[in-house]
């Protein structure tokens, strides 16, 4: 009875950002082993913990804990990519002028149509970026395809690959058209390097689509043939997107 009335013991570590926490102290709590995490959000906790520890350590970030389901691992990482990519989108809001970047283009040979509409639309680059990120967060939270954070339905895994292809275009547009912003963002987050390694490692994109140069892939692809097959699978019509010009 009296024990119940006592405040939470001071000895217990509380991993909590209370109101009033300074930005420098955000999430500054001791590391937690993955085995000790017992939340349905354990994978997200673990990924974010590893990213915060050292965003440059790509291999540590992408290596799943022992026994971790690979499909869930891929999905949680993609959520994290899209969330962090919002930081690049915000930088581009002022930089990417719709009267200059009138289309979503990487180089002049590659122009992409926006898949967020009932029929693919030629959006300006900044709109393509906003729509793609907003569409990704909507799809990855859709209870029809992704009802759970601890298991992934088989028919949903293919969705990850189509999101990855569109996400990569945000990186490539920034790299080829807004190099200074890209370099600043990449220096802080190493996000493009992490993403490139991610899609190669888990066979979510074909190598010929990885057009940003000098992003060496440090990990050899080790996924099964089945995964490879899924990655190459044609996407649903409802999420159709088209490459206007196929010529490299």
Partner 1 sequence: MGQQDFSNAVEEVHNEFAFLPGTDVTDSSSKTASAVWTNVDYQALDKKKADFQRELQQKKGVSRRLPRAELDAMITSLNVTDEGGSAFVSVADKESEVVARLLSKDSKFVQDLDAALGSVGGFSDLMAMTGPFDDSETANRSIIQRPREEPLRKTWAVRFTLRCHFDCVRAIVFHPVEAIVLSASEDATVKLWNLQKSLTANSAGATGVGAGNSRKGSQDFDPVYTFHGHSGPVLCMCLSPTGDYCYTGGMDKTVRCWMMPPPNVDPYDPLDRSISSEVLRGHDDAVWSLAFHSSDNRLISASADGTLKLWEPSANPALLATYVAEPDDGSPTSVDFMSSDLHHAVAAYSSGVAYIYDLEQAKTVLRFPPASCTGGFLHFSINVCLMCSEHFLAACSLSPINQIVCHPTLPITVTAHEDRTIRFFDNNSGQMIDCVVAHLDAVTCLSIDPNGLFLLSGSHDGSLRLWNIDSKTCLQETTAHRKKFDESLFSVAFHPSRPIIASAGADGLAKIFM
What residues are designated binding site? 96, 101, 173, 178
Residue 155 makes contact with partner 1 by CB under 8 A: no
Question: Does residue number 165 form part of the binding site for partner 1 (CB under 8 A)?
Answer: no
Q: How far apart are CA 96 and CA 104, in angstroms?
A: 11
Is residue 17 at the binding interface for partner 1, with CB under 8 A as the rule?
A: yes
With binding defined as CB under 8 A, does residue 87 bind partner 1? yes
Chosen residue from 58, 62, 116, 167 binding partner 1 by CB under 8 A = 116
Q: How far apart are CA 82 and CA 89, in angstroms?
A: 10
Among 32, 111, 211, 243, binds partner 1 (CB under 8 A): 32
What the block records as the tokens of 191 is 């996000």
Which residues does the annotation place in the binding site for Zn(2+)? 96, 101, 173, 178
In the complex with partner 1, the residue whose CB is nearer, 2 or 234, is 2
Residue ranges in the chain assigned as alpha helix (H)? 2-5, 42-53, 58-62, 70-95, 125-140, 154-177, 179-189, 191-201, 225-232
The Cβ of residue 99 has, within 10 Å, a number of other Cβ atoms equal to 6
Closer residue to partner 1 in complex, CB, 41/244:
41
Task: Write down the least CB distance from residue 55 to partner 1, Å.
Answer: 15
End-to-end CA distance of the chain: 73
Q: For residue 76, which of 126, 39, 112 has the smallest C-alpha distance? A: 39
How many chain residues are in contact with partner 1, going by CB under 8 A? Answer: 53
Helix (H, G, I), strand (E, B) or coil at 71: helix
- Which residues here bind partner 1, judged by CB under 8 A? 1-2, 4-5, 7-8, 14-23, 26, 29, 32, 39-41, 44-45, 79-80, 82-83, 86-87, 89-91, 93, 98, 114, 116-117, 123-124, 126-127, 130-131, 134-135, 137-138, 140-144
């Amino acid at each position: 009875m009296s024990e119940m009335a006592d405040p939470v013991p001071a000895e217990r570590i509380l991993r909590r950002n209370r109101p009033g926490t300074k930005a420098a102290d955000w999430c500054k709590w001791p590391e937690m082993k993955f085995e000790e995490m017992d939340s349905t959000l354990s994978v997200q906790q673990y990924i974010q913990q590893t990213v915060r520890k050292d965003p440059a350590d790509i291999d540590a970030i992408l290596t799943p804990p022992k026994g971790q389901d690979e499909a869930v691992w891929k999905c949680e990482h993609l959520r994290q990519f899209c969330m962090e990519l919002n930081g690049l989108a915000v930088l581009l809001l002022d930089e990417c002028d719709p009267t200059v970047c009138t289309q979503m283009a990487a180089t002049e040979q590659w122009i992409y149509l926006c898949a967020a509409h009932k029929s693919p639309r030629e959006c300006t680059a900044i709109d393509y970026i906003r729509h793609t990120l907003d569409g990704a967060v909507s799809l990855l939270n859709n209870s029809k395809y992704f009802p759970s954070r601890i298991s992934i339905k088989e028919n949903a895994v293919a969705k990850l690959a189509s999101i990855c292809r569109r996400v990569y275009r945000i990186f490539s547009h920034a790299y080829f058209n807004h190099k200074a912003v890209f370099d600043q963002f990449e220096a802080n987050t190493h996000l493009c390097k992490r993403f490139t390694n991610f899609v190669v490692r888990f066979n979510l994109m074909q190598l010929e689509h990885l057009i940003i140069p000098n992003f060496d892939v440090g990990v050899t692809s080790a996924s099964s043939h089945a995964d490879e097959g899924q990655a190459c699978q044609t996407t649903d019509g409802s999420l159709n997107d088209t490459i206007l010009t196929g010529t490299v």
